[in-house]
Amino acid sequence: MNNNQTIHNNNSPKNNNMKPVTSPIGQDRLVSKVNALTQNPASAHINNPQNLVFNEKGTTLSYKYVVDELIKLFASNIESIGDFYSKIYSIIHQNIDSSFYAIGLFKETSSCINLRLQDKLGNNYSTKVFLKDTDNPIIKVFNTREPVFIEGEDFLKLAYYKDYSTAILPLISVNKCIGVFIIEDDYARQNITLYSLIASCIAMFVHNYYLMEKSDEYANTDRLTMLYSHRGFQEMLTRELERAKINKKKTSIIMMDISNITKINREFGHAKGDEVIKIVAEKVRQNIREGDIAGRYGGDEIAIILPNTPVEQAKYVAEYITYSLSCCFIDDIGPIKVSVGVSTYPDCSEDKEKLLILAEQAMYISQAKGYKDGMSAIISSADFNFWDDVALRSYAEVVSKRHSQLGINFEEELIEKFNTDHKQSGTKIWDIATSLAAAIDAKDPYTKGHSTSVSKYAEALARAINLPEKEVDRITLGALLHDVGKIGIPETVLKKAGPLSDEEWAIMKQHPVIGTEKVLQPNPALRDLIPIVKYHHERIDGKGYPEGLTNGDIPLAAKIVAVADTYHALISDRPYRKGMNIEKAVSILEDIAGSQLDRDLVRTFIQIAPSLGV
């Protein structure tokens, strides 16, 4: 990407925050200037003594009317800098027949002017002009603080707008140039006073806005990266999604994970890891657009909010950032690499948490796909099939990492997908069941991998008693999903460190029925697993649940899963005890054989247990 690489965005201007701004610095001075103009028409411009402003077609509009609109703007309650831009653009569009107008703000971290242009059709374009491009008239105006009039020069690097008469004015506030204001107008010289007034309005508001923004950024700033903290990022995302909903605009999230940061911390120390994180944050600050919002989302994750940005545009921004990072070489480490995921409101979801989860899932898929030609794969949640193998594994990783933030609703959505979206092939069902089991196990960090282990043990026991291969497969799959009903059990019950109360135990005992009714019954391909899932907690002596069946009424497959489930529970760590060794677990199995578990199955299982591992 060159120094003037253009980023297209056919949406309205970005909104950076939602803090009300009602009194810009220098407002009294601005009002005085406005009053002087409206009270003394001759001072407006010597060539326009009737207080009229020319437009592109040679007709005229009331100069005073435009000024009155500016006064109304400053008297209104402006929620954000993006809101202010929109209203300025609206005033220009309604009163001045200009083909395009632009506001460019200086960004010190990247030594460039971030330019945002809007044309009369409402299309928006963004580009960067770097200070080193001293021949560009935009930079000349910024440096000299003097207006410049351009005739037909392609200084904007936009093919659409190269043969126009244009005025470029500096944005000056408190004796400091903070950017430029650009407007296309054949009569720009005659109307220079009006445009100077508009430029003054913009400069004063922007300066004031940034001062107010800095006043409260300390509490929401991550000290290492100087980006928004996790809390600050969440607050900003909530506000931007509210605005996107009101304005019916798209908002994208970029999630970036720094590759090998754990290895870097381990081999070179945390100081080196912090150095890498700081460099990534600096590059992100330099290369995001005006109005984009970056925050440190996790230890090695940085997230970016891109208001009014569709997925294609978000991926383009992400590509530019990853390219910039790949050019950074760290001693002993090499180039910085990141995994990148993107999700977009409302295309992917309208729920904030789901958008973040989908962005993380896409990021993990990016991680799995690796790098091509030195660049990371940039993955959007719109790019992959939810039931793709890599997508399923990535989803399970996200769930395992941050399940406490998901709540039940997202799992219920997963079940709906499970029963409606997938193809009914055997391989696909196994993949989906594996992912669903991982999601359930993730609800309880002390039983992570429980479903997979029980499935392995149940398969081994089924083979040991010489069941037909088809039945072995059914038992293996049923064991994998034996706890799927825990999807409906509150985490306060699942994660309780001590014994359950009578009320909590009554809730827990519902999970076999929940698994049967919510997951298996709606899916024709899985209904033959119902006896396994529903009855694996029944006991030989009739004291089990949910129906209190006795020995002869309990299906053999459910008895097999019960043995496997009990064994893994004994050898696994729990909040209140460490996992037992094999000898102790086998001893307990022998004690409960004949009352809780089938005696013959326990005898066989004890013989194969040493070969199963833990």
Would residue 28 count as lying in a domain?
yes
Q: Give the range with max mean pLDDT: 48-52, 316-320, 444-448.
A: 316-320
Q: Is 430 part of a structural domain of the chain?
A: yes
Q: Report yes or no on 390 lying in a domain.
A: no
Same domain, 492 and 439: yes
Residue 288 has pLDDT above 70, yes or no: yes
* Residue whose C-alpha is closest to residue 380's, from 360, 403, 410, 401: 360
Contact (Cβ atoms closer than 8 angstroms) between residue 38 and residue 169:
no
| Greater pLDDT, 86 or 392 | 86
d(CA 165, CA 183): 9
The whole-chain average pLDDT of the chain stands at: 80
CA 81 to CA 87: how far, in whole Å? 10
The domain that holds 537 is classified in CATH as 1.10.3210.10
Poorest-pLDDT segment among 303-307, 346-350, 415-419, 451-455: 415-419
Label residue 6 by pLDDT band (50, 70, 90).
Answer: very low
pLDDT of residue 15: 37
CATH number assigned to the domain comprising residue 157: 3.30.450.40
Minimum mean pLDDT range among 4-18, 29-43, 137-151, 192-206: 4-18
> Residue 312, exposed/middle/buried by CB under 10 A (0-12, 13-18, 19+)?
middle
Between CA 123 and CA 4 the distance in angstroms is: 19
State the pairing for strand pair 6-9/124-130. antiparallel
Q: What is the pLDDT of residue 20?
A: 41
Strand order in the sheet with 293-296: 293-296, 301-306, 251-258, 338-345, 378-380
Rounded distance, CA 188 to CA 101, Å?
12
Residue whose token pair is 């997951």: 519
Which span out of 258-272, 393-407, 541-555 was modeled with the highest average pLDDT? 541-555
Residue 38 has pLDDT above 70, yes or no: no
* Predicted local confidence at residue 392, as pLDDT: 62
pLDDT greater than 60 at residue 11:
no
Task: Quote the DSSP letter at residue 529.
Answer: G
How many folded domains does the chain comprise?
3
Give CA–CA dist 467/447, Å, rounded. 28
Same domain, residue pair 318 and 460: no
Structural domain contains residue 154: yes
Q: What is the DSSP string of 131-190?
A: TT-TTSHHHHHHHH---EEEES--TT--TTSSSSEEEEEEEEETTEEEEEEEEE-TTTTT
State the pLDDT at residue 414.
Answer: 60
Q: What is the pLDDT of residue 55?
A: 53
Contacts for 67-73: CB closer than 8 Å, 24+ residues apart = 67/34, 67/37, 67/38, 67/194, 67/197, 68/38, 69/94, 69/95, 70/34, 70/197, 70/198, 70/201, 71/31, 71/34, 73/201
Q: Give yes or no for residue 344 having a pLDDT over 90.
A: yes
Task: Give the model's confidence band at 401: pLDDT under 50 very low, under 70 low, under 90 confident, else very high.
Answer: low
Of the pLDDT bands very low, low, confident and very high (cuts 50, 70, 90), residue 268 is confident
| Range of lowest pLDDT (45-59, 190-204, 232-246, 576-590) | 45-59
The rounded radius of gyration (Å) of the Cα atoms in the chain is 32
Residue 49 lies in a domain: yes
369 and 431 fall within a common domain: no
Q: Tell whether the model's pLDDT for residue 340 goes beyond 90.
A: yes
Please check whether residue 391 lies inside any domain of the structure: no
Query: Is 346's pLDDT higher than 90?
Result: yes
Whether 287 has a pLDDT exceeding 60, the answer reads yes
Query: In this model, does residue 2 exceed pLDDT 50?
Result: no
Res 537 pLDDT > 50: yes
pLDDT of residue 34: 47
Question: Is residue 301 one of the residues assigned to a domain?
Answer: yes
**Candidate from 294-303, 377-386, 475-484 with smallest mean pLDDT:** 377-386
What pLDDT was estimated at residue 586?
A: 93
Q: Mean of the pLDDT values across residues 81-109? A: 83
238 in the same domain as 177: no
121 and 136 belong to one structural domain: yes
Task: Kindly state whether residues 434 and 360 are assigned to the same domain.
Answer: no
Residue 262 and residue 164 share a domain: no
How much is the average pLDDT of 522-537? Answer: 91
Choice among 54-63, 158-167, 297-306 with the minimum mean pLDDT: 54-63
Q: Which two tokens stand for residue 410?
A: 């997202």
Distance CA 559, CA 451 (A): 16
Other Cβ atoms less than 10 A from the Cβ of 246: the count is 8
Asked if 277 and 258 sit in the same domain, the reply is: yes
The two tokens of residue 537 are 């907690």
The residue ranking higher by pLDDT, 220 or 435, is: 220
Measured distance CA(27)–CA(23) in Å, rounded: 7
What is the phi-psi region of residue 26: left when phi exceeds 0, alpha when psi lies from -120 to 50, beta otherwise?
Answer: left
Average pLDDT over residues 46-69: 57
Q: Give dist(CA 18, CA 28) in Å, integer.
A: 24
Looking at the fold, whether 211 and 224 belong to one and the same domain comes out as: no
- Give the Cα separation of 284 and 227 in Å (integer): 9
Task: Decide: residue 613, CB within 10 A, 0-12 exposed, 13-18 middle, 19+ buried.
Answer: exposed
Specify the residue for token string 């004291």. 543
Residue 398 forms part of a structural domain: no
- Which residue in the block uniquely carries the two structure tokens 């591992």? 613
pLDDT at 442 exceeding the cut of 80: no
Quick check: 390 pLDDT over 70?
no
Of the given ranges (46-55, 90-99, 149-158, 514-523), which has the lowest mean pLDDT?
46-55
- Overall average pLDDT of the 512-522 stretch: 87
* 261 and 142, same domain (yes or no): no
Choose the final residue of a domain: 326, 349, 384. 384
What pLDDT does residue 45 have? 39
**Mean pLDDT value of segment 455-481:** 95
Alpha carbon distance 370, 334 (integer Å): 16
Confidence class for position 385, pLDDT limits 50, 70, 90: low
In three-state secondary structure terms, 495 is coil
What residue numbers bound the domain in which 354 lies? 220-384
Please state, in angstroms and rounded to a whole number, the distance separating the CA atoms of residues 179 and 203.
Answer: 8
Query: Average pLDDT, stretch 485-495?
Result: 76
Bond before 524 cis per omega within 30 degrees:
no
Element containing residue 304 per DSSP (H, E): strand 301-306
pLDDT reported for residue 318: 93
**What's the DSSP call for residue 225?**
T
What pTM, to 2 d.p., does this model score? 0.47
The Cα–Cα gap between 121 and 576 comes to 66
As a whole number of angstroms, the distance between CA 203 and CA 28 comes to 14
Q: Determine the 3-state secondary structure of 99 from DSSP.
A: coil
In CATH, what number is assigned to the domain containing residue 356? 3.30.70.270
* pLDDT greater at residue 276 or residue 48: 276
β-sheet bridge partners, residue 113: 106, 129
- In this prediction, residue 447 has a pLDDT band, given cuts at 50, 70 and 90, of low
Among 187, 215, 243, residue at a domain's last position? 215
Q: What is the pLDDT of residue 501?
A: 87
Domain co-membership, 474 together with 535? yes
Q: CB of 577 within 8 A of CB of 600?
A: no
Is 471's pLDDT higher than 70?
Answer: yes
Of 181, 215, 249, which one is at a domain's C-terminal end?
A: 215
For residue 12, pLDDT beyond 50: no
10: three-class secondary structure by DSSP: coil
10-14, 49-53, 489-493: lowest mean pLDDT where? 10-14
254 by DSSP, 3-state: which? strand
Question: Are 553 and 471 members of one domain?
Answer: yes
